[in-house]
Amino acid sequence: MIEIECDNCEELFEVSPKQAGGKAPCPHCGDVNRVPSAETSQEKEQPPDAAPEQDICVIRPAMFRAHPFRYLLMTGLFAGGAVLAVATPLNDRLWSWLVWVGLLMILAAAMWWVIWYITARLWVKLTISNKRIIRREGIIRRYTSEVLHDHVRNVEIKQSLLQRLLKVGYIGISSAGQDDIEIEVWDIPKPYEVKALIDEYREM
């Protein structure tokens, strides 16, 4: 019998040697897994030569490059508030209320930037190691999805004209055991370089 670990639930189960090199469903969760060939199974039984897993790079979505107009609007809101708060004379009762308007604009721009930074830079993280691709989402509560390099079937990239000029875009990764896309990340900087890095480790 050949013992394999499910890519989805990570439970161990056995399959017949006749299924070597094919696919088999996991009896625990139903996920379809690739059954290693006899040669691969022998290599797994002798893991001293196997390289330990190491993180190659950690990628976070871009902020300003991905949303330049939002950045300009936020900067204009902050600058306009600063001008109103500084330039409005406080001794003039007719116009002194503009100072408070300026301060509210500065506060709104600052809160907008903090929320944007949390949702864009801290909320999603894509980690590429020498063995797998991992997408982590959340700060307090975490959602994790991963695909082994050997199981990557397709790497999809989408870019608008502006995104091509700014070198950002969407990247979606699907595996051989699933019909839909398992890992999706928007606003990835230099997505074609990310794909090239994945291609170095996947079985083409």
The ranges assigned to domains in the chain are 2-49, 55-61+125-201, 68-120
Cβ(84)–Cβ(102) below 8 Å: yes
- Give the angle 148-61-75 at the CA atoms, nearest 5°: 180
The span from the CA of 194 to the CA of 57, in Å, is 9
The predicted structure's pLDDT at residue 112? 94
Is residue 171's pLDDT more than 90? yes
Is residue 47's pLDDT more than 60? no
The predicted structure's pLDDT at residue 2? 80
The predicted structure's pLDDT at residue 60? 93
User: What DSSP element (H or E) covers 126?
Assistant: strand 124-129
22 band by pLDDT with thresholds 50, 70 and 90: confident
Q: Tokens at residue 43, please?
A: 């290599």
For residues 173-198, one letter each, b for 16 or more C-beta atoms within 10 angstroms of the residue's C-beta and e for the rest, the string is bbbbbeeeebbbbebbbebeebbeeb
The predicted structure's pLDDT at residue 187? 93
Q: Domain spanning 55-61+125-201: which CATH class is it, in words?
A: mainly beta
For residues 88-126, one letter each, b for 16 or more C-beta atoms within 10 angstroms of the residue's C-beta and e for the rest, the string is beeeeeeeeebbeebeebbeebeeebeebeeebeeebbb
What average pLDDT is seen over the chain?
Answer: 85
- Give the angle 160-179-203 at the CA atoms, nearest 5°: 80
The predicted structure's pLDDT at residue 42? 52
Cα separation values, 46 from 34, 41, 52, Å: 19, 9, 14
Question: Which tens digits make up the pLDDT trace of 86-107?
Answer: 887 766 666 678 888 999 999 9
The predicted structure's pLDDT at residue 86? 86
